[in-house]
Chain A
Amino acid sequence: MSKNEKYVRFIDDICTSTDAGSVKWSYLEDDDSIINIFKKLNSKPKYLSAFDSLLPMDTIEFQGYKFKIETSYFFKDSEYINVLLSGETGKLCLLVTAGMSLRNAVVLDDSVYGVELVRLLAKIKKQFPDPESYIDKVINGEA
């Protein structure tokens, strides 16, 4: 099995577990410790620290791309963490799988795994309330 096939299978397995509900995703903004690790990983040398303030509070930078904290998700599995980062432009999706320190992370990029990551994003979003379907249910008298 090639590395590519292995990663596709990995994402597919997470999709299946997410769909079955055996994996519960949370909003990244609910866990300050992970956000702080991301920010620490990206911290600049002291003489450039003034530029840190230019990055909005609700954004984290990873591998040169900016991601919105409020639209990113994570789940912990024993001593590992999986984070689905979602950005505004550029890279819209990135799955980061690593130990709790986020060092030596495996980063699955949407330019290669875009189809699988969008599928995963759809499964994750299904775990959260969908106001439109609630409104439809109320209108149809099903709620």
Chain B
Amino acid sequence: MYRWFIDTFSSSFVVSLSTCLSLFGFVFSLYAAIKTYKIDNKLIKYKKSQSFLKEKDSIVKRLEGYIDVISNNDFTSNLIPDLIKTLSAIKNGYNSILPLNAKWKLKHLLRYLEKPYKDINFQKMINKLAYLLGILDSGGFIDE
């Protein structure tokens, strides 16, 4: 009886211990996988923003150029695709590190450029471009 009790107890103990260990192993590997994914994701975002930071000078100069062109009434609808390209470059490169206000301004600006050309208010556009330029030029990013 005593022997039977010991055998049963030890085998069920081993079973439950191994179950516990495998469960712990599973949870731990899941935790490690999530942690690695998060670090990888952060690293990718960081590398992406760093490569775009290198192009910051080009983007800042171009924004200055567009403001200059609009102010001198040299802006034509033919230039809209180029302006969209510049703004998309900001969106793709900086969106994760832009302050919320600037993100909204950028989103509005891109939507604004979808309007019919004759409905575009150029003064409004200059203001929005100048705001973005200020953010990029001063380096007022978050988590940079």
Binds A, one of B18-26, B28-36, B62-70, B95-103: B62-70
Instruction: Give A93 to B83 CA distance when docked, in angstroms.
Output: 12
Q: Given that A115-B68, A119-B69 are known contacts, is A93 also in contact with B62, CB under 8 Å in the complex?
A: yes
Asked whether B79 is an interface residue with its Cβ less than 8 Å from the other chain, the reply is yes
Cα of A111 to Cα of B54 in the assembled complex, Å: 10
A118 to B89, alpha carbons, bound, how many Å? 16
Asked whether any CB of chain A lies closer than 8 Å to the CB of B121, the reply is no
**B42 in contact (CB, < 8 A):** no
Q: How many residues of B contact A (CB 8 A)?
A: 26
CB of B57 within 8 A of CB of A117, answer no
Interface contact B65-A114, CB-CB below 8 Å? yes
Given contacts A92-B82, A122-B76, A133-B77, are A114 and B60 in contact (CB under 8 A)?
yes
Q: Is B143 an interface residue (CB 8 A)?
A: no
Which single member of A88, A118, A125, A132 contacts B68 (CB below 8 Å)? A118
**Which A residues are CB-close (under 8 A) to B79?**
121-122, 125
In this complex, what residue of A is CB-closest to B77? A132
Q: How far is the CA of A125 from the CA of B79 in the complex (A)?
A: 7
Report chain B residues within 8 Å CB of A66.
none
Determine whether A90 belongs to the interface, using a CB cutoff of 8 Å to chain B.
yes
Measured as residues with beta carbon below 8 angstroms from the partner, the interface class of chain A is: 20 to 34
* Across-interface contacts of B117 in A (CB, < 8 A): 132-133, 136
Q: Say yes or no: B62 contacts A110, CB within 8 Å.
A: yes
Residues of chain B within 8 A of A128, CB atoms compared? 78
- Cβ–Cβ contact A133 & B62, under 8 A: no
Asked if A126 is at the interface (CB within 8 A of a chain B CB), the reply is yes
Question: Which partner residue on chain B sits nearest A116 by CB separation?
Answer: B65
Contact of B66 (CB < 8 Å), options: A113, A116, A118: A118
B55 near A: Cβ within 8 Å? yes
B78, A90: Cβ atoms closer than 8 Å? no
A-B pairs with beta carbons under 8 Å apart, 10 shown = A114-B57, A114-B62, A114-B65, A115-B62, A116-B65, A117-B65, A125-B76, A130-B76, A130-B77, A133-B76
